[in-house]
Homo-oligomer: A and B are copies of this chain.
């Protein structure tokens, strides 16, 4: 064999990123369009920030440890910049900068692409999209509930039901009361939260040893473990009151419970004090949304973070928010057969030339239809075989074909309905009105 000419090296996409060909992009749009539609109808305003920020911005919320988890670089002026690994610091910066000018409450959503320097694995990529919904300036349970409602509204919009996904809710203060009641000292509370959080990843022996270090004896360790595994249905918070033996400490959660019922989503929600969320900045309710079998990573997570805006230099501002990534969501929808096979927009019209004389009219007919907003395609082939061209129209999923033949010179075209097969004659000048009519 004669060796061929040396081909240029084919460069791959970077590890952990995605190429969105038309089919994949249609799926991405299917998700992102739903995020936007549901956000708008729930009264949230769309915002966004830069794809990169000053590196220091991320240290404010997460400390120096964050640096190893993100992509950072320098500009020509030696400024340290970083690709955004999350949106919340940008949101906090933007709110802090305009805090006094912005009408309250602030209801914002965004759908940024985020970048993390992680090892790619199922459900985790180096670039992904995340839906963020935040409500600032209101500390009433209605704000917490509306944030959860918006997430549930999205899941329902995409065909999921309460038997398939669960909203698992806890409350920082309730857990704190339980821990204190068990005998955990105030200065060990953070350690105890961390222990609860890592519960499922620890051997029983390790868990007991760690709990002992918090000052808990065997009986109390067992009680802590039990409480971490209890699940109480929303709408029936009395069960929780009795079984956990808390009362006033449930104050906030009781208010939330009433609102979840009012919003009509208590069947989607349950209380689970084992939900901690790693992030230290939450101050009230926290929640995660999981596929019911628990097989996947969390689909969404959020909670109340009343201290954050102040931390970024703004005024004291109550806040609640949630984030939902596109990767796990799409995995869950795909597994359940809820992603459409083909989410691409379908052409309204496919224009066909049945003769050489008519071919010169294709662009002008297409132009007139497009100007009226009709999704119009045509063939670039030189064939005038109507059967073949109708196959191309069908392959493009077009709803109608406009066939231009020798009658086109008299200003008349045939319109074929590609679903029913029915065909009618329409004046070329009337085509736009015929389809928009």
Residues of A within 8 A of B (CB): 7-15, 17-22, 25-26, 28-29, 37, 40-43, 45-54, 56-57, 60, 71-73, 75-77, 79, 81, 83, 90, 93-94, 96-98, 102-103, 105, 108, 113, 115, 117, 127, 138, 140, 142-143, 145-146, 149, 153, 156, 259, 262-265, 310-313, 344-345, 347, 360-361, 363-364, 366-368, 370-371, 373-378, 380, 395
The 7 closest A-B pairs by CB, nearest first: A17-B50, A73-B73, A22-B45, A43-B377, A262-B363, A10-B313, A20-B48
Are B71 and A47 within 8 A (Cβ)?
no
Residues of B within 8 Å of A377, CB to CB, are 43
Q: Are B19 and A50 in contact (CB under 8 A)?
A: yes
Q: How far is the CB of A365 from chain B (nearest CB, A)?
A: 9
Contact A146 B73, beta carbon cutoff 8 Å: no
Contact of A14 among B11, B20, B52 (CB under 8 A): B52
Across the interface, A94 reaches (CB within 8 A) one of B19, B146, B374, namely B19
Which one of B8, B13, B25 contacts A45 once the chains associate, using CB atoms below 8 Å?
A: B25
Separation in Å of the A84 CB from the closest CB of chain B?
A: 10
Contacts of A376 on B, CB cut-off 8 Å? Answer: 41-43
Rounded to whole angstroms, the CA-CA distance of A97 and B19 in the bound complex is: 11
The interface residues of chain B lying within 8 Å CB-to-CB of A22 are 45-47, 108
Known contacts A14-B79, A149-B370, A264-B364; 12 additional CB pairs below 8 A are A8-B313, A10-B313, A11-B54, A19-B90, A25-B45, A28-B48, A41-B376, A43-B347, A51-B51, A71-B75, A149-B367, A262-B360
A146 to chain B, nearest CB (A): 7
Which residues of chain B are near A97, meaning CB under 8 Å? 10, 19
| 22 intermolecular pairs with C-beta atoms under 8 Å apart | A7-B313, A8-B60, A10-B97, A12-B54, A14-B50, A14-B79, A17-B50, A17-B52, A19-B50, A21-B102, A25-B47, A29-B46, A41-B375, A51-B83, A52-B83, A71-B81, A73-B73, A75-B117, A262-B364, A263-B363, A263-B364, A263-B366
In the complex, what residues of B have CB within 8 A of residue A37's CB?
373
Q: Write out the residue numbers on chain B whose beta carbons fall within 8 Å of the beta carbon of A17.
A: 49-52
